[in-house]
């Protein structure tokens, strides 16, 4: 009887909190692990897998990103999607490509494995948004071509 009551209590407790809603495009098999009531559970230290360092990116370097130009993360052009360790929903975001036209200070390191993806890509984080870097001429948009992931 005591065991039956304990099992009933556990079942009621498990059902007491409704599951978190999935963001559009989230993989249901991974989403619960990567969600909080506020949205996605992002990795620590902006996703850098090791101690990141600040470097100056030289003019002529090609970069890209998935998502709006209001972001500050980039990768060397062509880094595999899974190596960026982004949530699956990002596959459907706009893909952009850029050329560095003036020296650009960026924090550089490797992406942690996250969101069920392997990580390992070089990621770059800038103080300014991509939109700001385009506006001041530090970055120039170039034809993006095909995104480095299956859509």
Rounded to two decimals, the pTM is 0.77
Q: How far apart are the first and last CA of the chain?
A: 53
Same domain, 90 and 128: yes
- CA 108 to chain CA centroid, Å, is 15
Model confidence pLDDT, tens digit, residues 88-131? 888 888 999 999 999 999 999 999 999 889 999 999 999 999 99
Q: What pLDDT does 22 receive?
A: 60
Instruction: Using CA atoms of 110, 114, 116, 122 in order, give the dihedral in degrees to the nearest 10.
Output: -20
Q: Report pLDDT for 20.
A: 58
Residues 17 and 64 in one domain: no
In this predicted structure, the answer to whether residue 7 has a pLDDT above a threshold of 50 is: no
Helix (H, G, I), strand (E, B) or coil at 96: strand
Q: Are residues 123 and 58 in the same domain?
A: yes
Q: Domain span at residue 114?
A: 42-151
Note the pLDDT of residue 144: 83
Question: Could you identify the residue written with the tokens 């190596």?
Answer: 83
pLDDT in tens, 51-64: 899 999 999 999 99
Q: Is 61 found in the same domain as 101?
A: yes
Residue of 117, 134, 21, 122 lying closest to 68 (CA atoms): 134
> Are 49 and 80 members of one domain?
yes
**Whether residue 131 sits in one domain with residue 58:** yes
Identify whether residues 32 and 48 lie together within a single domain.
no
Among 18, 79, 71, 63, smallest CA distance to 42 is for 71
- How many domains does one find in the chain? 2
> Known catalytic residues?
65, 123
The rounded distance, in Å, linking the Cα atoms of 98 and 137 is: 11
In this structure, the answer to whether residues 83 and 151 fall within a common structural domain is yes
Clarify whether residues 20 and 1 are in a common domain. Answer: yes
Interval 113-123: pLDDT, tens:
998 899 999 99
């Amino acid at each position: 009887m005591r065991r039956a009551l304990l099992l009933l209590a556990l079942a009621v407790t498990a059902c007491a909190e409704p599951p978190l809603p999935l963001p559009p495009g989230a993989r249901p098999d991974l989403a619960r692990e990567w969600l909080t009531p506020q949205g996605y559970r992002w990795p620590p230290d902006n996703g850098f897998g090791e101690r990141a360092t600040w470097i100056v990116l030289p003019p002529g370097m090609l970069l890209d990103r998935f998502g709006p130009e209001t972001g500050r993360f980039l990768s060397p052009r062509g880094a595999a999607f899974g190596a960026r360790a982004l949530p699956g929903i990002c596959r459907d975001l706009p893909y952009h490509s850029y050329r560095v036209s003036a020296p650009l200070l960026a924090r550089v390191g490797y992406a942690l494995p996250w969101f069920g993806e392997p990580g390992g890509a070089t990621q770059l984080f800038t103080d300014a948004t991509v939109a700001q870097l385009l506006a001041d001429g530090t970055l120039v948009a170039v034809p993006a071509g095909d995104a480095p992931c299956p859509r």
